[in-house]
Chain A
């Protein structure tokens, strides 16, 4: 007698059929289910649900119950239930973001998971920066990113779930803890963190919803421009300029180094669009501070990605190799610190 052991994909499909049927109140058939890129601990699956003859393009975001997250992931990233509520608030506030539909329950046994609508477009910077179909979109992206960011920051914080408030000082302390944990001396990062510490902006009286990972690679674009903002798992409350600075970190220009706004425009274009759309007036000194911070931040993330492999929490050549990208941010930091502002 042969016993059929369902594969993980078959299991996910079965659970999704049940949960999607419950949500739509009619039987659902699941098609084209496939796992997208992403880590073992934080999975994204794409699928279609056929309900009453209508096809719904959907995404499952899922943290399996047993996969270990690193301590740092646990410390900085929000859980899926919180992410679902952040998406609800942002979507309701008119942000171009995926519409969250429903959460899976403990009985579904997929771990922390929810389903949202899938939106068209691609995120791959190399294609967006060079391929012909995106020619017209390229000229608009910097402004669109400014407008959308103003909307994100205008989200009524009363509609948000409980989020960590992270000010400049908290970020600096977190990166220093990270460097101590990694154990190798990093003089350039230490220099930059002390530079940042001496100049850190005062906490805001009213912190806003900060996306936390607002950069090229984390939004989708079609021929008309930006369609949706993805990857909300680092959302927190804090300084809106943090997102503007992060978007301008050189690593997100993917070679288009003369276009600081994510590889698509100038800082001034980005800021002007942000201000026109109701965002606060951008102080260039504050923006420079967050750009320097973002550069150290990405450098430490590179080291941490390698450490995930080195510590044995995941086995990944790709993660290991990212460790050798940290020096790119050291080059950038030495340049940035000389610019002053």
Chain B
């Protein structure tokens, strides 16, 4: 059964906003080391908020691309293990355009969750 609102993303945003705007300034005054740790925590909450919102669709896209690239069905983890093995043995390399398009798309989705400002 679906939970009531706030959704997971909404609740995470509310927590992160509170910690950033109210708790962090107070901590900076009282104990700067903890203020720094709190920034790390707030940043991690923002990652989780994006993951809750964007993660399921990103995983589904990655799965679909891997099935097409490797030519058979399996779990996301199994397909990635197979791809990683092929890349280590050199069965596939950067000259494979379909491979590179898959990796570009996968990493674009990953960074959009972990750190969208990364350039």
Contacts and interface: CB of A to CB of B under 8 A. Distances in A.
A101 interface: no
A257 interface: yes
Contacts, number: 69
A328 B88 contact: no
A257 B115 contact: no
A190 B80 CA distance: 11
Given A318-B37, A321-B43, A191 B93 contact: yes
Contacts of B43: 321
Contacts of A185: 77, 80-81, 83-85
B103 A194 contact: no
B44 A324 contact: yes
Interface in A168-199: 176, 185-188, 190-191, 193-195, 198
Contact of B111 (A320, A321, A328): A328
A328 B94 contact: no
Nearest to B43: A321
Interface in A317-341: 317-318, 320-321, 324-325, 327-328, 330-331, 334, 337
A185 B103 CA distance: 13
B40 interface: yes
A191 B103 contact: yes
B93 A195 contact: yes
B44 A190 contact: no
B49 to A, nearest CB: 13
Interface residues of B, number: 29
Given A187-B83, A324-B44, A334 B93 contact: no
Interface residues of A, number: 24
Contacts of B60: none
Question: Which of B81, B93, B99, B118 counts the most chain A CB atoms within 10 A?
Answer: B118
B81 to A, nearest CB: 4
A191 B37 contact: no
B14 interface: no
Interface in B81-107: 81, 83-85, 87-88, 90, 93-94, 99-100, 103-104, 106-107
Contact of B110 (A318, A321, A330): A330
A251 to B, nearest CB: 10
B114 interface: yes
A195 B87 CA distance: 9
Contacts of A257: 119
Contacts of B110: 327, 330
B47 interface: yes
B15 interface: no
Q: Which of A176, A193, A318 has the most CB of B within 10 A?
A: A318
A317 B33 CA distance: 13
Contacts of A334: 100, 103-104, 107
B94 A337 contact: yes
B107 A331 contact: yes
A302 to B, nearest CB: 11
Interface in B65-87: 77, 80-81, 83-85, 87
Interface string B11-23: 0000000000000
Interface string B28-50: 00000000010011011001000
Given A185-B81, A187-B80, A190-B87, A324 B47 contact: yes
A328 B115 contact: yes
17 contacts: A187-B83, A187-B87, A190-B88, A191-B87, A257-B119, A321-B40, A321-B43, A324-B47, A324-B115, A327-B114, A327-B115, A328-B111, A328-B114, A328-B115, A330-B107, A331-B111, A331-B118
Interface of B: 37, 40-41, 43-44, 47, 77, 80-81, 83-85, 87-88, 90, 93-94, 99-100, 103-104, 106-107, 110-111, 114-115, 118-119
